[in-house]
A = this chain, B = another copy of it.
Amino acid sequence: MSIVFNAIGSIERDPGEQATPRHHTLSDVEGWLNLLPEYEAGLSDITPGQRIVVLFHFDRSPPFTPELLRQTPPHRDAPLGVFSICSPRRPNAIGMSIVEVLEVDGCRIRVKGLDTLDGTPILDIKPYFPFEDGQRH
């Protein structure tokens, strides 16, 4: 059963950046989440300093094929199941990054911690709730 979404905006990386970090936990890359103007009101409670979850579309990934169910990530020496890694080549090409908010300017959010390509379509933004000691699981 097909599930259809539409991009709510796109990611703009600062020009001049070189390599794409392999993971958002290792990234200091800054840029903008540019939302379509119609979604600006939805950003009203996002504030500098907080972390947010960005879901995006790996729009330049080749199609998924069964031999990609196990892949060897660049920093590993043995294959891992696709659901244990963050590879862009996955059954549904959805990526997730947790980034730090630096500024909110209208329908744009300046963030730090990007690990995506410039122009990547944004699917959703969610609050980030870390698990802490004492939570129920």
Which A residues form the contact surface with B (CB < 8 A)? 1-8, 23, 25-28, 38-39, 41-46, 51-53, 55, 57, 59, 66, 69-70, 80-86, 90-94, 96, 98, 100, 112-113, 121, 123-127, 129-131, 135-137
Q: Are B5 and A127 in contact (CB under 8 A)?
A: no
Nearest CB of B to A137, in Å: 5
* Minimum-distance CB pairs A-B, first 4: A45-B84, A41-B69, A44-B81, A83-B125
Chain B neighbourhood of A1, CB < 8 A: 6-7, 121
Residue of B nearest to A135 (CB): B25
**Number of identical monomers bound together in the oligomeric complex:** 2
- Expressed in whole angstroms, the Cα–Cα distance for A124 and B82 within the complex equals 10
Chain B neighbourhood of A52, CB < 8 A: 83
Residue of B nearest to A84 (CB): B45
**Taking A4-B2, A55-B55, A129-B25 as contacts, is the C-beta distance between A124 and B42 under 8 angstroms?**
no
- Expressed in whole angstroms, the Cα–Cα distance for A100 and B136 within the complex equals 11
